[in-house]
Structure 1
Amino acid sequence: MFDLQDIRSQFPILDQKVNGKPLVYLDNAATSQKPVSVLESWNRYYSEINANVHRGIHTLSQLATEEMELSRRKIQKFINAKNDFEVIFTKGTTEGINLIAYSLTGLIKEGDEILISHLEHHSNIVPWQMLCERTGAQLKVIPIDENGVLQLDFLEENLNGRTKLVSVNHVSNALGVVNPIEKIIAEARRKSEAIIVIDGAQAVPHFKIDVQQLDCDFYVFSGHKMYAPMGTGILYGKEEILRKIQPFHGGGEMIAVCSFEKTTYADLPFKFEAGTPNVGGNIALGAAVDFMESIGREALQNHENALLDYAQKQLLQIEGLKIYGEKANRTGVASFNLEGVGISSDVGMILDKMGIAVRTGHHCTQPIMKHFDIVGTVRASFAVYNTFQEIDILVEGVKKAQRMLS
């Protein structure tokens, strides 16, 4: 049974006041709060079993290794990867995408084409631009319409034998638009031999992911948006391509044999995990998976969809308020502006005085803002612990901001 009060009780940070008002935390697309079980998992590692992993025969090292590898297997099951060694620990989505872009350098050449979309976070734009600069490849962009919906007819003319990589996000961080990645992947498989990368940073917190069913080559996401600590993330890659590409970082842990003449790389997943990992964070990422599974992915998704539906209906009753992507299939995000209010940060500061935390600005998606001819938006984003009463408080806060700024 979905018990919202019980869920909220697991997040002690939500009990505090900000500027004398109860905290209403609606900046979950930037980072989610952490439940007690995740905090305790992180603390237990440093309090009881702090040791480096994979390198020691002593008891603490063995315990730390067992705990981190258990977390890897939890994540394997969570995303339905075929093998646990296809799950690579990273610092987050940005590092995962950069790892792929660097490691593919030898497989991309001049004249090749890389396809991304107009809805991407800068982290899924800049690494590919850098790869194009290194190799002479060309970057192509799937356009969007007035609702932020990808125009997939672009694929008919622009997916071909020259297309070597397709990288799109599953869900837009700026608008919450859910992209039809199943169609994109199927079309890419039909018309090219492109490597397919999916940025799942904004999808994994909201609904179930099955990487085998999706048939993508890579799927990347961050822990801190799904109730885990910052500095954690996952790169899923199909075994075949992980064995083919070169590692991103060199050093300890990722070698099998090292000499001055030649180094042989370690087997998967360690080939891509050079150096001491964020052991406590990686273990706590497994605890975050346990937390989400304890609620149930369907129950979590249903609650968050209901929050978004309610928020959109209530916000649109405010005269002069525009929601970007209003008519698109969305999850988790209401991104809006008020007519006559030029700077979204002004709205954000007024809301903060009322204890309401939202994100303002361009959300690291300047091409999206340029498409809508705006500088930025106010973004309210939802998690499983948010309530309908908090949305009512948000709406009243936006009304107050409108009165003060118009």
Structure 2
Amino acid sequence: MKLFPNAHATHPQWRMAAALVLAQLKAQMALPGYARAPTLGLLYITDHYADDAAALLRHLAEALPSVTDWSGTVGVGVAGNNVEYFDEPALSLMLCDVPSAQYQVFSGVAPLQRGAAHKALVHADGQTPDLAELLAEMAERTASGCLFGGVAASRGRSVQFAQHAGSDGTRGGVLSGGLSGVAFGPQVDLVSRVTQGCQPIGPQAVITEARDNVVLRLDGRSALDVLLGALGVTLAGDPQPALRAVRATLAGLSDADGPPLRHRGHIGADARVRHIVGLDGARGGVALADRVEAGMRLVFCQRHAAAARADLVRICAEIREELAPELQAPQAVPAGSAAPRGEQMPARRLCGALYVSCSGRGGPHFGGPSAELQIVRRALGDVPLTGFFAFGEIASHRLYGYTGVLTVFAGPGSEN
């Protein structure tokens, strides 16, 4: 695969923004390293353009005749290389150099069939009933059980782009409600990671007693005592410092048979991070914004700018390491035999990236405007990137909140 052409722009008038984007794309498509005739477009717009979404899609499709298939949605912000456009009229577009036989745009008009995909990019309407259950069922339709994407974010109209070229002509377009996206085949090399931006502040524990949403005992101890001990505070005397510390604390949960919650100083991707909504002094309990049961595992954690930056750098490093693994250790050989050299796993190159982040994470949470995207660029390099700021993030088979989901498209290390 070649590099994916990508562009982004802001302007009060969508036609002007589209003109700026098209000029960038056509300049890139003329360069040797970029794809010249990609067929799949990933389009993200801020809600300022939502009412003109259909006209915008028609305009882009007419200007880019090689792009026969489109997917995307609306956000309160959109992402591009090294920059975020938050609460301003903007669009971000990436043209993916993926074999046509290895992807399928799906929606309510053209549903995804079970077993038809290896992994899938999913855009969702937040008003869809039983969304978490739908995502779990959607993941079961893929061979890997892996989804990535996010929930549309709009202060007005919520739209999704899902247009594909069928044998009888173009179908779909701008839709509302439900799920849509792109199903990818096994030959599309995708690497995805989730950053929760949380730092554990205590050991993992097993919930040994609970009622509804209240954790009563952890490893046989009062849950409230465990929380206050992890924070190093007390409710005796003036309780306000302790209550401020509790308000800044969350809880990571997992099922009894799930993987460990704590991994090398960060919260694992399988954790469901929930707010603490109350303290039960009479029973020594901690109330969470989710139902809990005995046997589940829990770790208290905190979100702050330093933890968010460190965790974002971590997932970028993990992606780079997976794409360019270090020299593998040689295997043991019988005495007297020549020792084999370590084998270098074939490196892969980044062709494009998609980043979906929570609408509450952008800007000041990372220290300034576009700081989140600048961290990604410093860690991954100057990779073509698009994405949006969502009302919920999708990874694996789960719906997350206040996270970032980074997915990269990889190709062979040497350009074909």
Q: What range is the shorter-chain TM-score in?
A: under 0.3
Q: Please give the TM-score of this superposition, normalised by the length of structure 1.
A: 0.23
**Structure with greater Cα Rg:** 2
Whichever structure has more strand as a proportion of its residues is 2
Whichever structure has more helix as a proportion of its residues is 1
